[in-house]
A = this chain, B = another copy of it.
Amino acid sequence: MTRPDNRAVDQLRQITFTPNVAPHATGSVLVSFGDTRVICACTVEEDVPRWMKHQKVKGGWLTAEYNMLPYSTLDRKQRDITRGKIDGRSSEIQRLIGRSIRAVVDLKLLGPRTLWIDCDVLQADGGTRTASITGGCIAAAIAINKLMAAGKLKTTPLKQLVAAVSAGVYQGTPVLDLNYPEDKDASVDFNVVMTEDLNFVELQGSGEEATFSPEEMMGMLELSKKGVQEIVQLQKAAISAADKPDTDALTDLAAAFGQK
């Protein structure tokens, strides 16, 4: 079995993070997993949702919105507002992103504010949901660092990082981080969200039109664990770089957009 882009079965695509692409957001990053590109932004609102006030829940909230830009797919994707309703798949993904990042944020420590995580897909080539979680965590980390630097937070509410990766069974073999051509042919769609201390946050495996065996599942879990470990290292470097002066930003950004 050879993968379409000749990667090893346990090899991630090239991953880059370009911070501050949306300067009006408190934190933002352009994430690339190969040809998949997602703009992730974290905006701070100094208020909490109505239900929290109503139920007198203490602390803050974090919520996510996921959206595919119309030109992110090979055939233009109609905007939700034109269709008149939110895409079922998008709704499901944004709930997943929100749950995943909330698992590593201490909402009590966050105080009475809301972190909005916006993920807009610029180019879709497989793995947009895992790229969104991975990038959303970076955007949140940058935003929280700014709140710390501004003295609005004393203790960081970010307990640890969270990252996500996909796996699947391609031509009978479990492989890591599927791109679109692999995804289309794979018999399983497997997404794993893990913390940097390698516990699970979310685990979703689906074999639409097909099933998968316990052995295949174990293989995909193993690959995912390896992938998450590598991604977490890249996240840490990106968060650290975002706080430094901007001198290298140009090169990073160029690298992110340049591989076309």
Contact = CB atoms under 8 A, between A and B. Distances in A.
Interface of A: 18, 20-25, 28, 35, 39, 41, 43, 45, 65, 67, 69-76, 79-82, 84-86, 88-89, 91-92, 95, 99, 102-103, 116, 118, 120, 122-124, 195, 198-214, 217, 221, 246, 249-251, 253-255, 257-258, 260
30 contacts: A18-B257, A20-B260, A22-B123, A23-B35, A23-B123, A24-B72, A28-B71, A43-B71, A65-B79, A67-B79, A69-B118, A71-B116, A81-B81, A81-B85, A84-B84, A103-B210, A120-B120, A199-B212, A200-B207, A201-B207, A201-B211, A202-B204, A202-B206, A203-B204, A203-B205, A246-B258, A246-B260, A249-B257, A250-B257, A253-B253
Nearest to A190: B203
B103 A211 contact: yes
Contact of A206 (B73, B99, B205): B99
B208 A102 contact: yes
Contacts of A208: 99, 102-103
A202 B70 CA distance: 27
Contact of A43 (B70, B203, B207, B249): B70
